[in-house]
Structures are given as structure tokens and as C-alpha cells.
Amino acid sequence: MDDSTVAKLEGANLEDLGIPTGRLAMWWFLASEISIFGGLVCIFVLLRWRHPEWASEAVHTINAAGALNTVVLLTSSLSAVLAHQAAEDGRYRKAARLLGATFGGGVIFLCVKAYEYSHEIHAGFVPARSMFWSFYYLMTGLHALHVIGGMVAMFVIMLSVRKGLNPQRVEYVGIYWHFVDIVWIFLFPLLYLAS
Amino acid sequence: MFDSWLPEAASSYAEKIDGLLVFITVIVGAWFLASEALLVYLALRYRRVEGRPAAYIPANTLRVMAVVLVPCVVILVFDLVIDAVAAPVWHEIKETQPPHDALIRVSGEQWAWRFFYPGPDGVLDSADDFEVVNEMHVPVGAVVLFELVAKDVLHSLWIPALRLKQDAVPGRSIRGWFKATREGRYEIICAEICGFGHTLMKSGLVVENQTAYRAWLDSQQGTQLAEAGHPGQR
Amino acid sequence: MAHSAHHPPVGFLGRYVFSTDHKVIAKQYLFTGIFMALVGGFLAYVIRMQLTFPGESIPGYGHVSFVHYNAVVTLHGTIMIFWVAMPVLLAALANFLIPLMIGAEDMAFPRLNMLSYWIFLLSTVVLLSSFFVPGGAAAGGWTSYPPLSGSAAFSGGQWGVSLWILAVALEFAAFLMGGINFITTAFNMRAPGMKLFDMPIMVWLQVVAAIVFMLSVGPLIAGAVMLLLDRLVGTGFFDPAAGGDPLLFQHLFWFFGHPEVYVVLLPGFGVIGEILPVFSRKPIFGYRMIIYATFVTGVMSFIVWAHHQFIAGIDPRLATPFSITTILISVPIAIMVFSYMATLWRGSIEFKTPMLFALGALAVFLLGGVTGIHNGTPAADIFLHDTYFVVAHFHYALIPPVFFAFFAAMYYWFPKMFGRMLNERLGVAHFVFTFFFMNLTFLPMFLLGFMGHQRRIADPRVFDTLRNAQVENLHWLATIGAIGLLLGQIPFLVNLVMSLIRGERAEANPWRANTLEWTVPSPPGHGNFERQPVVYRGPYEYSSPESSEDFLPQNAAP
């Protein structure tokens, strides 16, 4: 068999799917994540709709903190995009610095969240208080775990991309971070604003 | 036929469910036997024989695939027929509520059934209600409306002779009905796992004629009111 | 590719324990799954003995109290579905076969793959440890419906259910990692020339199963977290007293639980689809039709779940729509079964052990399939729900993929896995015992179900309607069947051990098959393919006019 046959046959594969394996894996991972958060959001919306009285509990969430966190997450997503661009251009130290900024955004987000939790718990709004608070802690807690997981991954990638290793992973962790961001954009109006 | 295996039928809709079971069993049984026979026939008929090579049939045209697709279309038709026959039975049993002659609240708890009767005023949650544990009495030929509740965990009200099964869910009150058509004593069982006493959670159903039922009601009312200590109440 | 740095491992630990080689991980899953099958089988023995001799001491177990009985039933179901069917059919077979069948040197993410196994092993340890904690193992049925499972006050033990939830959650995490690997490997690592529709049916069905799993499991993961919070933190998601709803958990469970049936069924059907053409020397009948039918099954499996809840207290008007989707799913499944049968037509069939098990799987599955119509019809389900009819139905539907197809796969791929052939005579004996005793065990249960015998009761003699000679005889038959079925596995285990030690050495392609795994030595070395194979055709070109022989490997140059 000559080389042109092999080249032609390899071409047949690329026409099926030209997505890098890592990105494909991330998309499938997020598909399963969507079914977790999607399921929760659907349940919450249905129940919330049936129970208008939850509004009296929802007013006690700290809207300003939620809004601040929304801004923080959106900004950190921006630096993740810039990090991806820098990695594409081969500017790995800059990519690492920008990932560091995103990481910092995660830290701020978690600090604000911790402040909220402690404030709310001191005021007696504990998970077992009512269904609204159960859902509030479940959904924001699950989201915060995703933030922490993303930060761990980002830290590892930051260290390796500085040395120019696996720069494509900057994009993958960025996709993940956008997802975490989008989940928050659903949670913020549902849990904070709708009261 | 296999319907002799079914428990005694003692409600107005028992025979409809039994008929449906026979109907489905005959249809799918015929398909099952035919498919099984075909499988055995194909396996034996085309076993390896020296000098008879296999045919090359990749079946990539619709014409050849029709061998499989046509029977599947027929299955589709049978499927729809079965559901068309079954839907009205379900509709009658679970989706409609004929006018009732008696009202009983059935409550499941770990591990007993309690039955609340509305008393002479016919209204539940009033002072003349009375309660019996582990034995339900109903008049024969009367439509009984039941209100099914559960106190702690899931239970399932299962009266095989009436072909009646309905889960009891804490926090919900589920309504249903039955009309017992034959006098006798039957079993009430819990069909949903409900903890380690699940096996022992059974009660009796007494289907009796109007006179006996009246007498039983009177006797219950007397005792119940006396026990409750409200002799003067209506 | 990530594998350029993939050196052959050194040392015993690197080679057999902390290995990233997909073949080793497959065997780790395989042996863990077989071990758990023995545990699950022992629990089945306890159930059968208790029902036949209620209250008496069972040899090897002792006296079964009602508390124990519920735990035994719960763990039997949990283990057989999550710790046998999933690791063996999905993890072991997909891990071993996907890279070999598509001409790849390993999975796309070998280290993720290793992590998947070790998390799975951890989940196994957590589950098994729950037998020994105060209060005993989970006893709320494999579905763990709250409120029963939501509070220690209702079900006894504080630890059992919590460990059960933890184990199941870990197991799901393991299979999510596995699933990502299966999908990306099949999509992105195929040998040059292999188009998507040149992949063997086994690969396709594993991929569809992995996708269905990944898209359906999310809500149950959420549900499991909620249940755990209810137990540990005092939230009331499923507690009506706190405003929660027990039915919510049922929806979350079955939104996953019913697709899960197809997650298990499809790999089993994949095995049958590989074996039938080889031993009929004929192309599979309607390759694309089968794959399209799989897609339809996968999509439809998401809209049938409420048929588990016809009488659970849901709005009765939902029953008929869900019944229609349920009954309609029989159509794509029938397409698959009939295509398999049509593969036999005008073939040249050789009855080797793998073929016997594949045909046996079809024969048994037919009964499991048609009885699904009974259960899927709401009005009939009023009577049959939670009776032994359901038990018989799902054993007839799941034993063919989980055991028959698995055994077929073992007899067929064992040479490739271990480099030695399994003994044919012991194999046939194993098949005869398994087929006969399986039917002896579960046929009586259909009749018990028609008699109104409900599930999950520890002693039928409590009930007037079940206290008779007929019920007793049927239980006897089923118990004899179950013990025979368990003893019938001895030839298989003996065969495994004997053949591993001194079985006939296997050549590269003992069955004269077309797929790529048979083009490498048995067993394949690290990295699988010495030279990158190139694929020229589909996997089932048997008795093709293009070849003088009756098979034409995918990589044979035209």
C-alpha cells in the first residue's frame, strides 16, 4: 500500500470528527454535569412555582453578595478566555498569569460565599430550616464544590503551562470554568433575585 | 388456561383486569412461541454441513431489510391495539370516580392498616368518626370510595381478590374506588417494602350483605363512642 | 498523541496492580465483577432458601430474621446491577475490546482509566463493609425509596443506607470516567480507514450505552446527595413533614433506573452481535439498521421511566402516555432481535460454546421481552406490580445480557485475553446447566406472580392465599433451580482456572474472525499493535464473494 492511500484513509477519519480528544472529553463531561444541575434546576423551578410562599424565605439571601459574585465569576471567565488566547499564541508565562487571575477570582468567590454562609447560619437560616434553604445550600454548595474542583485543576495546569507543557489544557479548563459560570448565572436569579 | 392460577375475583373490575391479562398473554404468547420456534428452526436448519457454504447477505437494502422491518411494523400495530384495549380499563379504574355509597379512609403505618369510617354523618374528620385496626368491612355491591394515606413510609394497599393496588404516600391523600361483588373474607396486604415488619403487615377485608354491614356499623359506633367518652354526642 | 510517552511498565506492581494498560484494567474489573457475582449469587441462595424453608436455619448463613431478609434482598439487587452487570459488561468488556477493535494502542486517557478502577474498587469495599456496621446493611430495596431510606428511625440502621449511598455515588463517578474514555476513544482513536460505520457492533453499542449512562445518571446523583443530606443534615427534600415529596426521589431514581436497563442490555446485545456472524460465517443482517435501532432505543429510554410508578401515586392521566412509549420501545428492540435471528438464515452455523450462549441469550430474552408488555400495560400492572411476575420478567430480561452474553464473551474472547483456549466440553456442560436451571428458577415465578405473590416478603406462609401446596411446590422448583444454577457455575470456574494453567495455547485468530483484535497475538502485548493497522472494510465480511476464504479481515489489503 502506498503512502497516498494511507493519507486518504486517515482523511476519512478526520471528516467524521475533527475535535481534539481532550476537548471532546470535556464536552461529554459537561454533558453529564448538565444533567446533574439541569435536573436540580428543573426540580427547583417546578417546586418554587408551586410554592409562592418560599418568597418570604428567599428575601433573606444577600443579593449584594450574590451580585458581587456574579461579577467576580464573569470577570474570571474573561481572564480564562485571555489565557486560552495567550496559550494559543505560545505565550505560556502570560497564560499562566492569566489563569492565576482566574484562580484568584475563584478565591474571592469562595470568600464571599463563606461570608454569606456564616452570616446566614448565624441568622438561623440553616439547611434544615425550610425547603428553600435546603435547596439553597444544596445548589450553591454543589456549585462551590465545582468551583473548588476547577481551581485545583487550574492550579496544576498553571504550573505546567508555565513550563510550556500541555498548553491545550488551558482551553479545556477554560471551558469547564465557563460552565461553572453559566450554572451560577442560573442560580443567581433563581435563588437570590426571585423573591 | 393460566387464569385459573389467578386469585378469586371479587370486584366489579376484577374480571376486566383478568380478561386483559389473558388477552395480552395470548397475543405476546403467540409471538413468543412463533419467535422461539423460528429461532430453533433457523439454528438447526442452517447448522454447518460440509459443502454448503453460508450465503453472503449483508442486508443493506430496504428490500432485504423488509424481512425484519415488516414483522416489526406488525408488532407496532399489536402494541397499539393492546394499549387501545387496556387504556379504557385503566381509565375506568383509576381516572374516574363513580358516585359512592360508602367512604373509608385507609391509613398505612409501620406495620398495620387503620380504617377510618365517617360515622352516621358521612363526613370524615368529624366527631362521630370511628376507627378500626386491621379489619375493613364493606357492603357487597356498593361503590366504596377510599382515601389512602400513609403515616410514616410508603405502603401499598393490595387486595388481590379485588385486583386493587395503590401505593400510599406520606403527605398525600390518594382517592380511589372499588365495588366488591362477592361476600367473603379477603386479605389486605402491603405490597411496598416498608421496613422489617413488612411481611407481617396484613389485614382482613370483610365483604358482607347490607344487613350484616349495618349491624357491624352499629356495634362499632357504640363501642367507639363509648370508648371515646362522648356518650351524649350525636 | 498522549501515548508517545507511554512506556511499557516495569515490575509486578506496575504491570498488574497500578497499571494504565486497558487490558489489565479490564481484567481487574472482570475479576472484581466475578467476585461480586459470587457474593450476589450467595445472597440469591439465601433468598431462595428462606422462601422455601421460612424461619429455618440456612446452611452457610444461619437464621434469617425479617431485618436481615430485607437487607439480603436489597444487596442482592444492588450488587447484581451495579457491581456485576456494570463492571463486567461495561467496564471489563469495553475496556478490553474498544481499543483492540478500533486499532488503538490504549484508551484515550489511560490514567483516568486507572483512577476509574480504583474508585470502583473503593466503592466495592464501602459497599461490602456495610454488611458489618451496627444496624446492618441497607434494607430499603435496591431502589432505596424514601421516607424508608431517609431516616434511621424507619429502617433501623444509621450506617447501612448512608454507606449504600456513598458506595453508589463512588461507583457512578468511576463509570463516568470510564464512559468518557469509551466515547472519546471510539470517536477519536480509530485506525486509519475505519469510518464510524466500520466500527464493530460491540463498539457502537458500548458507546451508546456509555452516552445513555452519562446523560441519565445526573438527576440520580443529585437525588443521592439530597437523600444523604436528609439523613445526615436534617433537610427534608423527601420528607412530607418538612414540605418535601417522596415521589420526587422515585422520579429521579427511575429517570436513571430505566435507561440503566438499556445501559446493561446494549453491551450484552453487542456481544451477541459479534458472535452470531462469526459462528454463522455470514455478515450480520442489517448492520446499520441495528445501529439505528440502538439510537432509537437510547433516545426512547429517557421517556419511559414513569412506567415504574403507574400505581405509585402519580397523576393517573400520565399512565397511558408512558405506557405507549414503553410499549413502543419494543419495536427497536424487536428490530435488533429479529436482525440477529435473520443473521442465522442461510448461514453455516457451528455450535461452539460462545454461539450456544449467544443463542441461549436470545431464546431467554424473548420471554423477558414479551412479558414487558404485561408490566407496561397500566391496567394489567395494577395486578402484576410488585409481584413475582415482575421479578421473573426482569430476570428474564437481564440474565441474558448479564450472564449469557457475558459467558459467551468469556468463551469467545478468553483466548485473546489470556492466550489460552477454554475447554469446550466443560463449556457445553456449563451452558446446559445454566440454560436449564435458569428456566427452572424463574419460570415458576411467573406463575407465583399470577397467583398474586408479592415481592420482598420473607415468609409466604403468613398469607392465607399463599399458604398452599401450589405455592410451596413452585418455591421448591425455583429453589432447586437456583441451587442448580449456582452449582452449574462450577464447571465454568474450574474451566477458568484449569485453562489459565494448562489450556491449549490460542493462536492469534482461533475463530477465523474479521475484527482487528484477532490480528494481534493472543494475548496482545503492551501497546496492542506492532504496526498501525489500516482498515479497508466493515467488520462482518464473512463468506464474501471477494475472498476465496469464508472470512475477510477488516485490515486485509484489497
Residues B108-129, mean pLDDT to the nearest whole number: 90
CB within 8 Å of chain C, chain A residues 21-50? 21, 24-25, 28-29, 31-40, 43
Percentage of residues in chain B having pLDDT higher than 70: 93
Residues B109-136, mean pLDDT to the nearest whole number: 90
Q: Does A149 touch chain C (CB under 8 A)?
A: no
Farthest CA pair distance, chain B: 100
**pLDDT higher than threshold 60 for residue B132:** yes
* pLDDT at residue C384 in the model: 96
* pLDDT at residue C1 in the model: 37
Task: Say how many domains are in chain C.
Answer: 1
Q: What is the DSSP secondary-structure string of B102-115?
A: EEEEEEEETTEEEE
Nearest to A134 among C180, C190, C237 (CB): C237
* pLDDT at residue C242 in the model: 87
Burial (CB < 10 A; 0-12, 13-18, 19+), residue B27, is: middle
In angstroms, the separation between the Cα of residue C166 and the nearest Cα of chain A is 16
Closest chain A CA to residue C255: A39
Average per-residue pLDDT in chain A?
89
Distance between start and end Cα atoms, chain C: 29
> CA-to-CA distance for C174 and C180, rounded, in angstroms?
10
How many CA within 13 A on the CB side of residue A111? 8
- Tell me the sheet residues that pair with B157: B166, B190
Q: Of B118-122, C15-19, C286-290, C434-438, which gets the smallest average pLDDT? A: C15-19
In angstroms, the separation between the Cα of residue B197 and the nearest Cα of chain C is 7
Indicate the pLDDT class of residue A40, thresholds 50, 70 and 90. Answer: very high
Q: Which residues of C touch B61 (CB under 8 A)?
A: none
Measured CA distances, A11 to A7, C99, C199 (Å): 6, 20, 16
Number of H helices, E strands in chain B: 3, 10
Q: Is B65 helix (H, G, I), strand (E, B) or coil?
A: helix
C465 and B7 within 8 Å at the Cβ level: the answer is yes
Q: Which residue would you say has higher pLDDT here, C542 or C154?
A: C542
Which residues, including other chains, have CB under 8 Å from residue C552's CB and lie 6 or more apart?
A: C514, C537, C541, C542, C544, C546
Which of 2.60.40.420, 1.10.10.60, 2.130.10.10, 1.10.4160.10 is the CATH number of B102-228? 2.60.40.420
Nearest to A17 among C188, C233, C234 (CB): C188
Which residues, including other chains, have CB under 8 Å from residue A166's CB and lie 6 or more apart?
A: A157, A160
Q: Which residues of A touch C195 (CB under 8 A)?
A: 12-13, 16
Task: Flag whether C548 is in a domain.
Answer: no
Closest chain C CA to residue A128: C235
Indicate the pLDDT class of residue C16, thresholds 50, 70 and 90. Answer: confident
A10 and C193 within 8 Å at the Cβ level: the answer is yes
Q: What is the DSSP secondary-structure string of C285-307?
A: TTHHHHHHHHHHHHHHGGG-GGG
Q: Does C557 touch chain A (CB under 8 A)?
A: yes
Q: HEC string of A68-129?
A: HHHHHHHHHHHHHHHHHHHHHCCCHHHHHHHHHHHHHHHHHHHHHHHHHHHHHHHCCCCCCC
Residues C324-344, mean pLDDT to the nearest whole number: 95
Q: Where are the domains of chain B?
A: 2-95, 102-228
C194 and A13 within 8 Å at the Cβ level: the answer is yes
* pLDDT at residue B230 in the model: 39
**CATH number of residue C503's parent domain:** 1.20.210.10
**pLDDT higher than threshold 90 for residue A16:** no
| Residues in chain B, overall count | 234
Q: Does C109 touch chain A (CB under 8 A)?
A: yes
* pLDDT at residue B184 in the model: 95
* pLDDT at residue B3 in the model: 67
Q: Which residues of A touch C169 (CB under 8 A)?
A: none
Closest chain A CA to residue C243: A131
* pLDDT at residue C156 in the model: 67
Residue C56: other Cβ atoms inside 10 A: 11
Residues C68-94, mean pLDDT to the nearest whole number: 95
A interface mutation test: which of C177, C232, C235 has the most A CBs within 10 A?
C235
User: Which residue from C386, C452, C483, C388 is spatially nearest to C42, judged by alpha carbons?
Assistant: C483
Average per-residue pLDDT in chain C?
93
Under DSSP, the state recorded for C421 is P
pLDDT in tens, B11-63: 999 999 999 999 999 999 999 999 999 999 999 999 999 989 999 998 888 89
pLDDT in tens, B66-101: 999 999 999 999 999 999 999 999 999 999 999 999
**Residue A103 corresponds to which amino acid?**
F
- Tell me the sheet residues that pair with B104: B146
> CA-to-CA distance for C525 and C282, rounded, in angstroms?
30
Q: HEC string of C171-189?
A: HHHHHHHHHHHHHHHHHHC
**pLDDT higher than threshold 70 for residue A10:** no
Neighboring chains of C (3 or more beta-carbon pairs < 8 A): A, B
Closest chain C CA to residue B89: C379
Q: Which residues of B touch C378 (CB under 8 A)?
A: 86-87, 90, 94
**pLDDT higher than threshold 50 for residue C457:** yes
In angstroms, the separation between the Cα of residue C217 and the nearest Cα of chain A is 7
Which residues, including other chains, have CB under 8 Å from residue C137's CB and lie 6 or more apart?
A: C71, C74, C75, C130, C131, C157, C160, C163, C164
* A:C CB pairs within 8 Å: 112
Which residues, including other chains, have CB under 8 Å from residue C434's CB and lie 6 or more apart?
A: C357, C360, C403, C404, C407, C485, C488, C489
Q: Of B1-5, C24-28, C226-230, C335-339, which gets the smallest average pLDDT? A: B1-5
How many CA within 13 A on the CB side of residue C453? 29
* B:C CB pairs within 8 Å: 289
* pLDDT at residue A4 in the model: 47
* pLDDT at residue C286 in the model: 93
> CA-to-CA distance for C93 and C413, rounded, in angstroms?
9
**pLDDT higher than threshold 90 for residue A5:** no
Query: Strand pairing of B143-150 and B102-109?
Result: parallel
**pLDDT higher than threshold 80 for residue A195:** no
C222 and A39 within 8 Å at the Cβ level: the answer is yes
Indicate the pLDDT class of residue C6, thresholds 50, 70 and 90. Answer: low
Nearest to C377 among B20, B53, B172 (CB): B20
**pLDDT higher than threshold 70 for residue C133:** yes
* pLDDT at residue B202 in the model: 92
* pLDDT at residue A7 in the model: 45
Measured CA distances, C405 to A73, B129, C175, C257, C266 (Å): 49, 60, 20, 21, 10
pLDDT in tens, C394-444: 999 999 999 999 999 999 999 999 999 999 999 999 999 999 999 999 999
**pLDDT higher than threshold 90 for residue C17:** no
Sign of the CA dihedral with A7 first, then A12, A16, and A21 last = negative
Instruction: Give the CA-trace dihedral at B176, B182, B184, B186, to 10 degrees.
Output: -40
User: Taking a C-beta distance cutoff of 8 angstroms, is the pair C479, C52 a contact?
Assistant: yes
Nearest to B46 among C335, C346, C374 (CB): C346
**pLDDT higher than threshold 90 for residue B201:** yes
User: Which residue from C206, C163, C212, C159 is spatially nearest to C181, judged by alpha carbons?
Assistant: C206
* pLDDT at residue B223 in the model: 57
C interface mutation test: which of B6, B12, B36, B57 has the most C CBs within 10 A?
B57
User: Taking a C-beta distance cutoff of 8 angstroms, is the pair C183, B139 a contact?
Assistant: no
> CA-to-CA distance for A159 and B150, rounded, in angstroms?
58
Task: Flag whether C551 is in a domain.
Answer: no
pLDDT in tens, C260-283: 999 999 999 999 999 999 999 999
> CA-to-CA distance for C458 and C69, rounded, in angstroms?
6
Look at the block and give the residue holding cell 468518557.
C180
C219 and A35 within 8 Å at the Cβ level: the answer is yes
ipTM surpassing 0.85, yes or no?
A: yes
Q: Which residues of C touch A24 (CB under 8 A)?
A: 183-184, 187-188
Phi/psi at B158 (5° precision): -130, 110
User: Which residue from B116, B93, B82 is spatially nearest to B178, judged by alpha carbons?
Assistant: B93
**pLDDT higher than threshold 90 for residue C201:** yes
C141 and B54 within 8 Å at the Cβ level: the answer is no
Percentage of residues in chain A having pLDDT higher than 90: 78
C176 and A128 within 8 Å at the Cβ level: the answer is no
Fold of domain A22-193: Four Helix Bundle (Hemerythrin (Met), subunit A) (1.20.120)
In angstroms, the separation between the Cα of residue B193 and the nearest Cα of chain C is 7
**Residue B40 corresponds to which amino acid?**
V
C286 and B64 within 8 Å at the Cβ level: the answer is yes
A36 and C221 within 8 Å at the Cβ level: the answer is yes
**pLDDT higher than threshold 80 for residue A18:** no
* pLDDT at residue C7 in the model: 63
Q: Which residues of B touch C462 (CB under 8 A)?
A: 199-200, 202
C-alpha cell at C120: 470502583
C-alpha cell at C222: 443529585
Whether C and B touch, i.e. at least 3 CB pairs below 8 A, reads as yes
* pLDDT at residue B224 in the model: 54
In angstroms, the separation between the Cα of residue A120 and the nearest Cα of chain C is 16
* pLDDT at residue B2 in the model: 66
Q: Does A51 touch chain C (CB under 8 A)?
A: yes
User: Taking a C-beta distance cutoff of 8 angstroms, is the pair B129, C123 a contact?
Assistant: no
Q: Does C143 touch chain A (CB under 8 A)?
A: no
C-alpha cell at C457: 416478603
> CA-to-CA distance for C478 and C475, rounded, in angstroms?
5
Indicate the pLDDT class of residue C287, thresholds 50, 70 and 90. Answer: very high
Q: Which residues of B touch C148 (CB under 8 A)?
A: 153-154, 193-195
In angstroms, the separation between the Cα of residue C361 and the nearest Cα of chain B is 11
User: Which residue from C330, C450, C377, C376 is spatially nearest to B91, judged by alpha carbons?
Assistant: C377
**pLDDT higher than threshold 90 for residue B234:** no
**Residue C330 corresponds to which amino acid?**
S
C380 and B20 within 8 Å at the Cβ level: the answer is yes
A128 and C236 within 8 Å at the Cβ level: the answer is yes
Rg value, chain A, Cα: 21
Measured CA distances, C175 to B214, C225, C301, C500 (Å): 62, 17, 19, 29
Percentage of residues in chain C having pLDDT higher than 70: 98
Measured CA distances, A156 to A83, A176, C301, C323 (Å): 15, 14, 39, 50
Residues A88-99, mean pLDDT to the nearest whole number: 94
Q: Does A14 touch chain C (CB under 8 A)?
A: no
> CA-to-CA distance for A96 and A107, rounded, in angstroms?
16
In angstroms, the separation between the Cα of residue B161 and the nearest Cα of chain C is 9
C534 and A6 within 8 Å at the Cβ level: the answer is yes
* pLDDT at residue C4 in the model: 41
Report helix angle C159-188 to C110-129, nearest 10: 160
Q: Which residues of C touch A13 (CB under 8 A)?
A: 190, 192-195
Which residues, including other chains, have CB under 8 Å from residue A49's CB and lie 6 or more apart?
A: none
pLDDT in tens, C492-515: 999 999 999 999 999 999 999 999
Cα C293 to chain centroid, rounded: 20
Indicate the pLDDT class of residue B225, thresholds 50, 70 and 90. Answer: very low
Measured CA distances, C160 to A174, C52, C139, C535 (Å): 40, 27, 8, 52
Q: Structural domain of residue C437, as residue ranges?
A: 10-519
